[in-house]
Structure 1
């Protein structure tokens, strides 16, 4: 079972390993002090927030998000980083993290949706990738059955049950 919640002080080393995995994937170099600064910011929880996913008590996934205004909304939730340990992929960890961030958006009075980030679409299931790399909004729905993904119109389609990478940028927005 996957459990989501806040990062605890004892998660520092496991969080950094996942954060480094995320940054390595995107070929982004961050100096050691950058991880220290980010950890401090996450622990303060005023600018940037984090969600942790645990399986059997072990940290297996992280999501970093923040709230900001946009041209069209006063308060939006941006899910900036999402990373799942390779050994835990294909078990619903990414979905659980996304839902937890969506809950945070709902708590601030909105209806969350996902907007694909073109740079991350190669990591999404096939039906979500359709559209030629143009960002599209997807309402968040209950998670699909294991081995299935939501297709256009919200119907469920079969997919490979092989683990898929769970690294992508997603914008969670809500409309008041």
Structure 2
């Protein structure tokens, strides 16, 4: 999977061949096909492992924060975004694979399902007096997080990634703050 991730990230899905992945991995083509139905299955396995790892990291971070007494839902959401972006740096090749280069057919549908799960989960965290404003903030956050993952993965080093993540968290906190300033539906208390 590591060899495939490197190939997908550097030359893209279409140009990656299972034969080249096998040579790089020191494995046989047959062994790869034994574990993965096809190149598309390999790509999706890498993506799904990344998503599961990200969700595990977020759950761990949120449990630790709650154990430390954090109960404010907006703070928990900001923490989850910080954790996700940090994970994007750690798995930057997977992020590049999914956000920079071409992807297999159906991948946009897979990413869309992940985005829908994110929206459902976080809609509960950010309920406000103005449901349309909540939706607007969530959509803005989701689009920003996707782009930020690509930007974090493209950073030259860990220090640059950490600085970008800090600035991104400020932006997310600002978006969440818009909801906290709602006094009544349809009216922002500015």
Q: State if a TM-score over 0.5 links the two structures.
A: no
TM-score normalised over the length of structure 1: 0.30
TM-score normalised over the length of structure 2: 0.28
> Relative to total residues, which structure has the larger strand share, 1 or 2?
1
> Relative to total residues, which structure has the larger helix share, 1 or 2?
2
